[in-house]
Amino acid sequence: MSRIAIFPGSFDPITKGHEDIVRRAIPLFDEIIVAIGVNSSKNYMYSLEQRLQWIKATFSDCKSVKVIQYEGLTIEACKKHQVKFILRGLRNSNDYEYEKSIAMMNQAMSKDIETIYLNTQPEYAAISSTIVRDIIKNQGNALPFLASGVRL
C-alpha cells in the first residue's frame, strides 16, 4: 500500500514555510497531495485558480507532489483519495495545541488516518499567510516569505 499524505490548507498565499514542510516530507511518503480547502464563507485574497497555479509552479520539480482542491472536512478528502496521513507543520506551541485538537477529532472520525507533524525550520517560524497578506496589503516586500513558485 502506498504511503500517501495530504497537506491541507488555504495557501492564501503559499509561503516558504509551507514549501519547506512539503519538501522535507517528500522522502517520507510515496505521494504528497497539497490540498486547497475551499470555504465559500471565507474571503480569500487570491483566487483558487491563482493559488493552484502557484502551488503547481512551486512543486513542478517534484513528481510525487500533486495538487487538488476540496470542500468539506479534510478527513473526508482523505477517504476520497485513499490517504492515510495528514501532514501538518508546527511553528510554535500554539500551533501544536490547535493541531492536536483537530488531530484528536479526526482520529475520532476515522481511526485509520494519522496526523504527522513536522516542526518548522527556525527561519520560517514567524511566517504565516495572514502576516504575508498584511505585508502585501500594505505594499511591503513579501517576496522573501513567499514560496518559490509565487509571482506577484
- Pick the catalytic residue: 16, 51, 88, 129? 129
The reply to whether 91 belongs to the active site is yes
Q: Is 18 an active-site residue?
A: yes
The active-site residue out of 42, 63, 93, 111 is 42
* Secondary structure, 3-state, 25-67: HHHHCCEEEEEEEECCCCCCCCCHHHHHHHHHHHCCCCCCEEE
Residue 69 class from Cβ within 10 Å (0-12 exposed, 13-18 middle, 19+ buried)?
A: middle
Q: Which residue of the set 16, 18, 51, 88 is catalytic?
A: 18
| Cα–Cα distance for residue pair 80/60, rounded to 1 Å | 24
Backbone angles phi, psi at 130, to 5 degrees: -60, -45
Which grid cell is 19? Answer: 514549501
- Considering 56, 66, 91, 133, which one is annotated as catalytic? 91
Report the amino acid identity of residue 146.
L
Residues catalogued as catalytic: 18, 42, 91, 129
